[in-house]
Amino acid sequence: MSTTETTASGVGPVEGAPVHSADNPAPLIEAPRLRTKKTPKSTRGNFEMYGWLFMRLSGVVLVVLVLGHLLIQLVLDGGVSKIGFAFVAGRWASPFWQMWDLAMLWLAMLHGANGLRTVINDYAERADTRLWLKGLLYTATVFTILLGTLVIFTFDPNIR
């Protein structure tokens, strides 16, 4: 700041005489909203892009998997009444249906979890809320995926 007496407008006591010069420059006016340390870091990287792509691709695959699943379980061959322990045991005896169900489990869980993640990002306003909701979401997702995978592979038809 200059030591010369100035009015609020920055003009010296003698009207029109500039107070500032090359040796005595005017104070820098800071931008009203500087990016500060608190501003979240920009995260370059392709995670969001792959997430976005995954949603589209898994969505397309899920249409086939889920509609096929519903058709087999609920419509064909006597419909829903046929489903029982024996039916499930019979299906999971084949690696093809194991893989079908495994793919459906993983894709649906990840698709849903990623969708909820974006919903939380869009709607949770406070950073803490976001953190907790996402923590809960990831825990539930990992638990369900692991449990489901375990059951598909360790299913024992002779358990009874």
Partner 1 sequence: MATPVLDKADEAGRPEPGFADSPYITVTFRIRRFNPEVSAEATWEDFALEIDPKERVLDGLHKIKWDVDGTLTFRRSCAHGICGSDAMRINGKNRLACKTLIKDINPEKPITVEPIKGLTVLKDLVVDMEPFFQAYRDVMPFLITKDTNEPTRERFQTAEDRERFDDTTKCILCAACTSSCPVFWNDGQYFGPAAIVNAHRFIFDSRDDAGEQRLEILNDRDGVWRCRTTFNCTDACPRGIEVTKAIQEVKRALITRRF
| Interacting residues with partner 1 (CB under 8 A) | 31-33, 35, 40, 42-49, 51-53, 118, 121-123, 125
Helix, strand, or coil (residue 19): coil
Q: How far is the CB of 112 from partner 1 (least distance, A)?
A: 16
Nearer to partner 1, 20 or 117 (CB): 117
Query: Least Å distance between CB 50 and partner 1?
Result: 9
The residue among 32 and 78 lying less far from partner 1, judged by its C-beta, is 32
Pick 126 or 160: Cβ nearer partner 1: 126
Q: How far is the CB of 109 from partner 1 (least distance, A)?
A: 21
Q: How far apart are CA 135 and CA 127, in angstroms?
A: 12
Nearer to partner 1, 9 or 42 (CB): 42
Reading phi first (left if > 0) and then psi (alpha if -120 to 50, else beta), residue 7 is in beta
Asked whether the beta carbons of 118 and 52 are under 8 A apart, the reply is: no
Amino acid identity of residue 8, one-letter, is A
Distance (Å) of CA 81 to CA 63, 76, 78, 89: 24, 11, 7, 16
Min separation Cβ 61 and partner 1, Å: 18
Q: Treating both helix axes as pointing N-terminal to C-terminal, what angle do 47-70 and 95-123 enclose, rounded to 10 degrees?
A: 130
CB of 40: closest distance to partner 1 in angstroms?
A: 6
Q: Which is nearer to partner 1, 87 or 123 (CB)?
A: 123
Closest CA to 131 of 120, 140, 116, 118: 120
